Structure 1
Amino acid sequence: MKNIIGLDSVKAKELTQSLNDLLANYQLYYQNLRSFHWNVVGPEFFELHEKFEELYNSANEAIDELAERVLTLGDTPLHTWSEYLRVSEIKESQGIKDGKECVSIVLENIKVLLVKEREILSVASDIEDEGTSALMSDYIKEKEKVSWMLSAYLK
């Protein structure tokens, strides 16, 4: 049986489970970025404060896109903090103020997201889900560039 966009319903349901997992991880990534934006101190304050805001705005947009993609595929997006905390591989970062430590955590969070996005890209390609594939490709491209920049910052 096909869903409303012509994809196999069973395969789409399996894909939405992975998208919901990614959504939960994005929520924790987003909240960590907000925390770093608010709490970072030191000589890099101005540049990191601005960068973390840029990154959390991008993450917020992705969160909305992921939830809408889950809905488009015929499922319900996760939507409570208890679900996000239960599902997410990314964990809350509390009380971190040092800029370099914040950047290191952001890089680790991005690695988690990239692995999940590449896995979803592979599955979406296999079931000919161009919409999800395009979304993942965009996210991967953006995160690879951010990873390069943040890694350069730490050197």
Structure 2
Amino acid sequence: MEIIKTQNKIAKNKEFKKLGFTYLETAEIVVHLNTLMANYQVHYNKLRNFHWNIEGPEFFELHDEFEKEYNTVKKNIDVVAERIRVFGIKPNFTLKKTLELSELKETEQHLSAIEMVREVLKDFEVLHENMMSALGASLDIGDVATEQMLTDFLRALEKRNWMFTSYLK
């Protein structure tokens, strides 16, 4: 009889799990992913503005590079939002909420091409830190799918960081 009670208790507890993780286990990951998504959205907006407003001898090169970058970011935003959905949470991002959660700030003044690249590199630092925090949270509970997603993001971000840093030399 005790075994049946234990099995029923285990079965009831499993009802509250998503993919083998409890809501509490994934809560920290979701918080980090929400922050990452907010930062990505501000970064995306800045990249679009840089793409549209670049001027000078670097125009053709950076116009294309900013477009490549914002297309990647747009895809990553969708991947992050869908990962949050996997955990049973609905991302609800108004512009107001995005700006509240984001550590990145909009750039309102006109920037030179070099200043735009420096701004992108500053954003990369914040995004990298966000990814590392989320990665740590996913490793803590053994969430290899989120770990892989973030590792892929990190690999691409680090390569682009190297490229934009080399551009400034």
What TM-score do the two structures reach when normalised by structure 2? Answer: 0.88
Q: Which residue of 2 aligns with 1:22?
A: 36
Which amino acid is 2:160 matched to?
V
Q: CA deviation at 1:76?
A: 1.9
Q: Deviations over 1:120-144 (max 9, x none)?
A: 1111011011111001100110010
Asked if structure 1 preserves the Cα contact closer than 8 Å seen for 2:84 and 2:91, the reply is yes
Computed over aligned residues only, the root mean square deviation of the Cα atoms, in angstroms, reads: 1.1
* Distance in 2 (alpha carbons) for counterparts of 1:150 and 1:9: 39
Q: Write out aligned runs for 1:13-52 (5 A).
A: 13-52=27-66
Q: Deviations over 1:49-82 (max 9, x none)?
A: 0000000000000000111011101112132100
* Distance in 2 (alpha carbons) for counterparts of 1:28 and 1:41: 22
1:85 matches 2:99? yes
1:153 matches 2:167? yes
* Distance in 1 (alpha carbons) for counterparts of 2:28 and 2:135: 13
For these two proteins, the number of residue pairs brought into alignment is 155
Asked if structure 1 preserves the Cα contact closer than 8 Å seen for 2:28 and 2:137, the reply is no
Structure 1's consecutive aligned runs of 4 or more residues displaced over 4 angstroms after TM superposition are: none
Q: Deviations over 1:87-145 (max 9, x none)?
A: 10000012334110000000000100000101111110110111110011001100100
Q: CA deviation at 1:4?
A: 2.6
* Distance in 1 (alpha carbons) for counterparts of 2:152 and 2:91: 20
- Say which is worse superposed, 19-28 or 75-84, in terms of deviation: 75-84
Work out which of the two has the higher radius of gyration on C-alpha atoms and give 1 or 2: 2
1:104 matches 2:123? no
* Distance in 2 (alpha carbons) for counterparts of 1:3 and 1:62: 26
Asked if structure 2 preserves the Cα contact closer than 8 Å seen for 1:20 and 1:78, the reply is no
* Distance in 2 (alpha carbons) for counterparts of 1:109 and 1:69: 22
Q: Which residue of 2 aligns with 1:136?
A: 150
Which amino acid is 2:163 matched to?
M
